[in-house]
Amino acid sequence: MPTALIADDEITLVNFLKAELAVLWPELKIIAEAYNGADALRLINELSPSIAFLDIRMPGMSGLELASQLQAAKVAPLVVFVTAYHQYAVDAFEREAVDYLLKPPTRERLGRCVEKLKRQLAAADADGTAPAAEVLARLMSAMTSMTATNQAATPGRLDWIRAAHGNDIRLISIDEVIYFEANDKYVSVFTATHESLIRMPLRELLDGLDASRFWQIHRGTIVAVKHIAGTTRDFRGRTLLKLKERPDELLVSRAYLHLFKQM
């Protein structure tokens, strides 16, 4: 029976991966969870899981540092890095990887990862060799280069957010967000199909967004540029923003009207 360890300092993502893997790969047994790199290394050495899902950024020891130690010790499981880096950068090394998961992974993407892992394990069983050492070396080289490039280009950039939706916590890719709207202590997150809540001041949220993709249009509103359909005027002469995938109309305050002069 294949076994796995999940290492991530965000318990929400650990629980999310466990629930999705239980659906996609019921035979896979999750034998350990770790919330920092040192504990993950200790548990891998003690339990020898077939697969390790490793977050890149963990307290004490990063996923890359942990994988380096596994490689040196020749006890590497199949490693799947869990990253928050942009798709354009990840594409550059996809051919070299055991696999990676961009946070938050979709079920379809995780399903492709599961199929790849199954093929790797089957091949190792067939020829009796350790499955991961050579592939892990290529993956680490590519990930190290990609990490340095992304940290230099986009420090602190938000690629996904955790948001409350009823009693559930949703992991929402920033690409899904149509707009944010501040409400007292919370910020509402609107996608095409859902409205969720996050506890983060709008100013802090704005600092983590790509300014070329998200515009602040009002003191309490930030909108994704690609979802803007156009503008209109109401009977009071105010400018309202129309959206492509939602019926909502968003008020544009005078301070931000210059953004729409070309429309």
Which stretch, 8-17, 42-51, 144-153, 169-178, has highest mean pLDDT?
A: 42-51
Tokens read off for 242: 């129309």
User: Residue 3's pLDDT is what?
Assistant: 95
- pTM, full prediction: 0.56
**R_g (Cα) of the chain, nearest Å:** 21
CA distance 5 to 244: 42
Is pLDDT at 218 greater than 80 in this prediction?
Answer: yes
CA distance 105 to 173: 9
Reported as a pLDDT band with limits 50, 70 and 90, residue 150 is low
Is pLDDT at 14 greater than 90 in this prediction?
Answer: no
Closest CA to 80 of 13, 127, 125: 13
Is there a contact between 118 and 76 (Cβ–Cβ < 8 Å)?
A: no
Is pLDDT at 73 greater than 90 in this prediction?
Answer: no
Mean pLDDT of the chain: 80
Mean pLDDT of the region 220-228: 93
- Report pLDDT digits (tens) over 237-262: 999 999 999 999 999 998 888 888 76
Q: Which 3-state string (H, E, C) describes 181-243?
A: EEECCEEEEECCCCEEEECCCHHHHHHCCCCCCEEEEECCEEEEHHHEEEEEECCCCCEEEEE
Mean pLDDT of the region 9-19: 83
Say how many Å lie between the first and final Cα of the chain, rounded. Answer: 59
User: Residue 63's pLDDT is what?
Assistant: 81
Q: Residues 86-96, buried b or exposed e (16+ Cβ, 10 A)?
A: beebbeebeee
Is there a contact between 66 and 55 (Cβ–Cβ < 8 Å)?
A: no
- Report pLDDT digits (tens) over 89-144: 454 344 334 677 777 777 888 899 999 899 888 887 666 555 555 555 666 565 56
The amino acid at residue 165 is H
Closest CA to 199 of 250, 171, 162, 174: 162
DSSP character string of 64-117: HHHHHHHHHHT---EEEEEE-S-HHHHGGGGGG-S-EEESSPPHHHHHHHHHHH
Mean pLDDT of the region 66-93: 67
Q: Express as a percent the part of the chain with pLDDT over 90.
A: 33
Reported as a pLDDT band with limits 50, 70 and 90, residue 76 is confident
CA distance 209 to 158: 6
Range from 9-23, 87-101, 144-158, 171-185 carrying the lowest mean pLDDT: 87-101
Tell me which of 13 and 132 has the higher pLDDT.
13
